[in-house]
Structure 1
Amino acid sequence: MSYKEIVQRFHDEVLNERKYENTSEFVSPQFVFCSNNSPASEGMESFRKYMSVFQDGFPDLTFETLHMAEEGDVVYLYWKGSGNNTASLMGMPPTNKYVEIQGISLFELDQGKIKMNRVVFNTVDMFQQLGVNPPQL
């Protein structure tokens, strides 16, 4: 399986199907994740907790791959996330608004497993689409 296929599987199974429990086949036990300028967190459980903020607030949240490139042990993924804010998000009541954002993920792999995932997306744009001020994080 190519590294691009592994990353696409991560996107499909973990982000879209929310299957966090069966990732050891393609995610390293030393998996590290960081988003925007937040501190890095280790392990799939911490990643699941991070994603639950968005997946709970946008129960129909899905991610679409717009472009992917592989260079050595690194895969770059340009994606679009979209969904309806029908539940509480970061302590704010639902707005019932549809949001569509784009971002870039950089995946580092080692021996066929994802060891690092760095994500950058425009949080201000997301809150503007919701019509609310960003919470103090």
Structure 2
Amino acid sequence: MWTDLSSRIDTAKSTLGLTRVGNKSYKELWWWNEEVQTTIKEKKALYKLWFKSKNSDNKTNYKKSKRIATTVARAKSMAYDDIRTLPMSKPCATITEQEIITCLKHMKNNKAMGPDDIQIESLKVLGDDGINLLTNLYN
């Protein structure tokens, strides 16, 4: 049992990556890649240069780098597309409606949205039909 769980955790880590909390200079999200990292570092360096000098040429270079920074959105979109093409499997036990209700009650309001861009408040006001929908979705 533990070996199976350990292998699933390792698979999840290798597929999704890790996020480290508290160190702003290190970002490794499941969709974050080297191209994004390089683009963001260049943009930050150009901003610092412009902020120190207040030169109009540096400001122009910084604004161009902001346009190039769409690499982040492109990488995130490609990562989500990759996840949508993964085969679905059901290795876990089924989740009951009561478990979903309990989880929703324990979730705090006014928190940042996750990668699904759904607010907790939206899930809480779904009612019985929403609970049925979530139960079918998770099982």
Bigger proportion of residues as helix: 2
TM-score, with length taken from structure 2: 0.21
Using CA pairs under 8 Å that are at least 6 residues apart, name the structure with larger relative contact order, 1 or 2.
1
TM-score, with length taken from structure 1: 0.21
